[in-house]
Structure 1
């Protein structure tokens, strides 16, 4: 019997693969038979994730990338195409946040860096995905956005703006490239227990921490495994009629 969310022999590239959702997704997909390339700016962490997977008998390779730089992204995709022999799925997960602050106190640097990584970085990777996948019959691009890209997000306005932009790119590309058999969807988690969220929590007082942890009706942070399982389903052929969708995993926050 074929298992649910079967990704056997799928050729998958994941950015932001050195930790959090990206690392969890790489390990899960590889454990189910996918061939995976992970990419990240953090070379040591990325190499460690790849080695751990390889030690367990899984096919995971690492390549350093700076998604804000078009040439670095092109080099990454050339590496992935060579190592994997093509691409079936690309997961654009690389992202950053910023310290919560009122909009009028947010620095230009914080705004610019969030747009550069979270939005322009995704755009660079989407363009490269299209160039690699369209000539070979299509594929699936999964952008990791956020509930902050679907609703108001006080105190994290730059992050929210970048994730709203990702949703715009996702929906536009989904329609524009559907006839080329290229699908584009977004995963929109709420607060997940990742190093990035823990870093944010560390900057807040107890009241702020509780507000984040209890933001959803389930009154807890999400787990990376809950998001990686959703990404695995999207990466499988079971999601073949989903296109231009915001796959929301928020514990009921937007209900």
Structure 2
């Protein structure tokens, strides 16, 4: 019960890694707001866990502000924020990526971190405590060809994590990140271009442990980094990747 008494917002919590983190947080005693752009997905996970669902577009300032207001009103406080929501573009040469796809990747993967910080950091500062966890990717550490702008957005998230950690530490707020390798999430087929046994084998051959990251892997790492056990850890971008980045 390492998160007992804590409240958490998990964006993209309706599926994939976000759902895995939500399950682990509830198992560790946290009260969780499952935030997702898909209301049915948010409600399904929240109903399963006895959590609270909320529909949010993390790229919209009005939507993020409404989420923050609701979370504070419904949960009483926000101790933890997990910026997990993310999108990618399909694999292609960098100069062929559509401008709308580029804008969407940076709005969801990067701007959302800014909007959520703007909405919730003042609340955390007022309480002199808080933990922010950004879900980045090994793509931001060891980038692959043909996912250039997605790679760049996740590299941005790793840098943002470190600068947030330095600035917010004096206020009792820790900021860390997780860098998973590809996993069984709705984005897997987009990363690979197509989901075939051959393409999976190609991906798995680059991971020394020989499997994808799982939602459970992410939940385990996230629950530690957001708990008081990690009170001396901030600015860390932890690779949950089976050795992919070695």
TM-score above 0.5: yes
2:6 aligned partner: 10
Paired residues of 2:161 and 2:177 also in contact (CA < 8 A): yes
Distance, in Å, in 1 between the alignment partners of 2:35 and 2:222 is 17
Find out whether 1:153 has 2:144 as its counterpart. Answer: yes
| CA positional deviation for 1:110 | 1.6
* Structure 2 contact 90–193 (Cα < 8 Å) conserved: no
Name the SS of the counterpart of 1:195 in structure 2.
coil
For residues 134-153 of structure 1, the aligned pairs below 5 Å read 134-153=125-144
1:108 pairs with 2:104? no
- Structural RMSD (CA): 1.5
Cα-to-partner distance string for 1:135-188 (whole Å, 9 max, x where unaligned): 111211000001111122211111111111111211111111111111111011
Give TM-score scaled by structure 1 length. Answer: 0.92
Cα pair distance change 1:53/1:245, threshold 3 Å: same
Contact (CA 8 Å) 2:59, 2:107: kept in 1 or not? yes
Q: Which of 59, 67, 83 does residue 68 from structure 1 map onto? A: 59
The 2-side partners of 1:167 and 1:226 are apart by: 19
**Match of 2:23?**
27
Provide the C-alpha distance between the structure 2 equivalents of 1:129 and 1:147, rounded to a whole number of angstroms.
27
1:210 offset after TM fit, Å?
A: 2.5
1:43 to 34, 39, 58: 39
Question: Take 2:196 and 2:15, find their aligned partners in 1: how far apart are those partners?
Answer: 25
Q: 2:200 maps to which residue?
A: 209
TM-score (norm 2): 0.95
Deviates more, 1:147-156 or 1:69-78: 147-156
SS in 1 for 2:187: helix
